[in-house]
C-alpha cells in the first residue's frame, strides 16, 4: 500500500485489531506505551506479542516517561523496538545517556503552551534524533497525563520554525483537523492517540483508518 509523504504515528496501541488497522492503512510508526498510569499502557510481555503483528517496515516506538535504566532494559530484553520516545522531563544529558544505554534513536517530546516553550527545544540539538511537539496540559486539568490528553495548542507557533532534526506534530489531532494542522504548522509527520479512540485507551480501527486516509490526502 502506498505510504503518504506525510508520515503518521498511531500511538498507544494495545490490541491486535488496532495494530492491524494502523499497519493496513499506512502508518509509518506505531507507539507502545510503557507508562503504567496511562490507560494505554502495555506490559513488556503484551508488547512482545503485539510486536509480532508489526512488519519491519513499520517502526515500533516505545513511549516512556522519565524511565530508569531498569525499565528500559526490561522492555528491550523482550520487545524489538526501533525508537525510544521520551515524554517526561528528561534533560539533554539523560536523553544522551538513554541513547547510549539502548543504542536506539530517541524522539523527545516538547510540551507546548506558548512560544517560550519552543524556545527551549534547542537544548536537544545534537542529542535527540527527532522532536515531537505536544500540547502542554494546564495545571488545573484533573487526571492529566504527560500526553494523550486530546488537547490542541496553537499550530501557528510552529509555522516557519526550523530545527536541526526532523519533528512530529501531536496534540488533539484527529481525522477532522489533521489537514488544517499540517497546513498551518508545516509538519512532515503527525502523531495521534486519543483522536482515534472511542474511550480512553480503547482504539477505534475505523477512526485509525479515517485519520490515515486524511493524512494520505495531504
Q: How many CA atoms lie within 13 A of 104 on its CB side?
A: 22
pLDDT in tens, 43-65: 999 999 999 999 999 999 999 99
Q: Which residues contact 101 (CB under 8 A, 6 or more apart)?
A: 69, 72, 73
- Spell out the domains of the chain, with CATH numbers in brackets: 7-216 (3.20.20.70)
pLDDT in tens, 94-152: 999 999 999 999 999 999 989 999 988 999 998 999 999 999 875 544 454 454 456 78
**In a 10 Å sphere around its CB, with 0-12 CB exposed, 13-18 middle and 19+ buried, how is residue 12 labelled?**
buried
Query: pTM for this structure?
Result: 0.91
pLDDT classification of 160: cutoffs 50, 70, 90: confident
Beta strands per DSSP E along the chain:
7-10, 29-33, 59-64, 83-86, 106-112, 130-135, 167-169, 189-192, 197-199, 202-203
Q: Is the dihedral of CA 208, 162, 158, 122 positive or negative?
A: positive
Clarify whether 188 is annotated catalytic: no
- Please identify which of the residues 66, 68, 117, 134 carries the catalytic annotation: 134
Do residues 207 and 22 make contact, with C-beta atoms less than 8 angstroms apart? no
**pLDDT value at 92 more than 90:** yes
Clarify whether 174 is annotated catalytic: no
Amino acid at each position: 500500500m502506498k505510504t503518504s509523504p506525510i508520515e503518521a504515528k498511531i500511538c498507544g496501541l494495545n490490541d491486535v485489531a488496532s495494530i492491524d488497522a494502523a499497519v493496513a492503512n499506512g502508518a509509518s510508526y506505531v507507539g507502545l506505551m510503557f507508562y503504567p498510569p496511562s490507560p494505554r499502557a502495555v506490559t513488556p510481555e503484551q508488547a512482545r506479542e503485539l510486536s509480532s503483528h508489526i512488519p519491519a517496515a513499520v517502526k515500533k516506538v516505545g513511549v516512556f516517561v522519565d524511565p530508569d535504566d531498569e525499565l528500559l532494559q526490561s522492555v528491550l530484553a523482550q520487545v524489538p523496538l526501533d525508537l525510544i520516545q521520551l515524554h517526561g522531563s528528561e534533560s539533554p544529558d539523560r536523553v544522551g545517556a538513554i541513547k547510549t544505554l539502548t543504542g536506539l534513536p530517541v524522539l523527545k517530546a516538547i510540551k507546548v503552551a506558548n512560544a517560550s516553550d519552543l524556545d527551549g527545544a534547542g537544548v536537544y540539538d545534537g542529542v535527540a534524533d527527532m522532536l515531537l511537539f505536544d500540547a502542554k496540559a494546564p495545571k488545573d486539568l484533573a487526571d492529566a497525563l504527560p500526553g494523550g490528553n486530546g488537547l490542541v495548542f496553537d499550530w501557528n507557533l510552529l509555522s516557519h520554525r526550523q530545527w536541526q532534526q526532523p519533528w512530529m506534530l501531536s496534540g488533539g489531532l484527529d481525522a477532522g483537523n489533521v489537514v488544517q494542522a499540517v497546513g498551518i504548522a508545516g509538519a512532515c509527520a503527525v502523531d495521534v492517540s486519543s483522536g482515534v479512540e472511542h474511550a480512553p485507551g480503547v482504539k477505534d480501527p475505523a477512526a485509525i483508518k479515517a485519520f490515515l486516509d486524511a493524512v494520505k490526502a495531504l
